[in-house]
Amino acid sequence: QDIQIPPDQERCWITIVYDAYERSKGSSIKTMHLIAPNDYIVKLWTDALNVVSRERIEIMNALSANPEKSERSMRMAWKQATSRKNPDAEPKIDFEDAKWICRKLEINCSINTIRTHFNHADHDLVGELNYSQYQYFVNLFKIRKDVQSLYYGIKRSDEPELSQEAFLEFLRKEQHIDVEKDRASWENKFELYCRSASGKTTDRQVPPTMNLQAFQTFLSSGSNGATASIKSDPTLDRPLNEYFISSSHNTYLMGRQVAGLSSVEGYISALVKGCRCIEIDCWDGKNGLPIVNHGRTLTTEVMFEDCIAVISRYA
């Protein structure tokens, strides 16, 4: 409606919302509007974008506890990083490549953390990592010290890994779960996470044990959910305030709350991520026109009309 595209061209209209972090000085969320000449070209574009989207999702599994998914994701990121270099040189990555890979794998941490892990992996002190060192580098991000402390606190000192009995005892004492009510189910879950982390079939003659990686995966899984499982389909007939809704606070702000930038791009970013509750702080502006900003602060302002137009387009 805003761009006034003729009705006969609407079916050939494509809008791509993308992130251009490396080439953006301000907000990295951008939009590109395209009009294809015919339905066939639209299908080619949408099919290609779906392939890119699936590959993007798959490459974000580098920190997965599943060995196969993690390895496949790491190989994809490695191939993309090294393909940007001289094809005749031995495939290696430097620190700048490591930062690029972390962003590609959605590993969000400080530059200092990346540098620390990179230096740990750079055993040769040459400023570059080969593939095995790169694997070690990525795996360092999987370690959570809080979970590590908990794991070694409940593991028996005379056992190399967490036994089934120690695991069930943890569920009873720490998680306050009535294990005996469904012991077989918890034993099956224990074996499932043991197999998933090891990547191989458990020898039935040897009792399975749970390593740190498997324990960490269990803690963050649905098997260890904070809420009771609902076996029946929800009816969704309760008042709206009784539901959890993906919400956004100070949606228009791109930076600090005292002197930051206000922009309609905040609404675009929140809505394309699935947010369904946004905030519009509306104030009286000049010439009787309403504005949006963090009231009585030094934040910049954006027109209320522009915010509503963007919300109408992306909600």
Task: Report the run of H or E that residue 14 belongs to, with start and end.
Answer: strand 13-19
Please give the average per-residue pLDDT across 247-275, as a whole number: 92
**Stronger pLDDT, 227 or 266, i.e. the higher one:** 266
Residue 229 has pLDDT above 70, yes or no: no
Please give the pLDDT value at position 46: 95
Between 23-27, 243-247, 251-255, the lowest mean confidence (pLDDT) is in 23-27
pLDDT tens per residue, range 166-177: 999 999 999 999
How far from each other are the two terminal CA atoms of the chain, in whole angstroms? 14
Residues 310 and 312: their CA atoms lie apart, in Å, by 5
Report the chain's mean pLDDT, rounded to a whole number. 88
Residue 292 near residue 282, CB atoms below 8 Å? yes
Identify any residues that bridge with 253 across adjacent strands, giving them in sequence order.
262
Residue 18 has pLDDT above 90, yes or no: no
Tokens of 8: 């006969």
C-alpha to C-alpha distances, 101 to 58, 93, 118, 224, 285, nearest whole angstrom: 14, 10, 12, 30, 45
Residue 36 has pLDDT above 80, yes or no: yes
Residue 221 has pLDDT above 90, yes or no: no
Residue 155 has pLDDT above 60, yes or no: yes
Q: Which of 33, 120, 123, 249 is catalytic?
A: 249
123 noted as active-site residue: no
249 noted as active-site residue: yes
pLDDT tens per residue, range 179-207: 999 999 999 999 999 987 665 555 566 88
**Residue from 61, 124, 63, 131 nearest 97 by CA:** 131
Task: Give the SS3 label for residue 124.
Answer: coil
Residue 223 near residue 187, CB atoms below 8 Å? no
Please give the pLDDT value at position 241: 87
Please give the average per-residue pLDDT across 119-144, as a whole number: 93
Residue 45 has pLDDT above 90, yes or no: yes
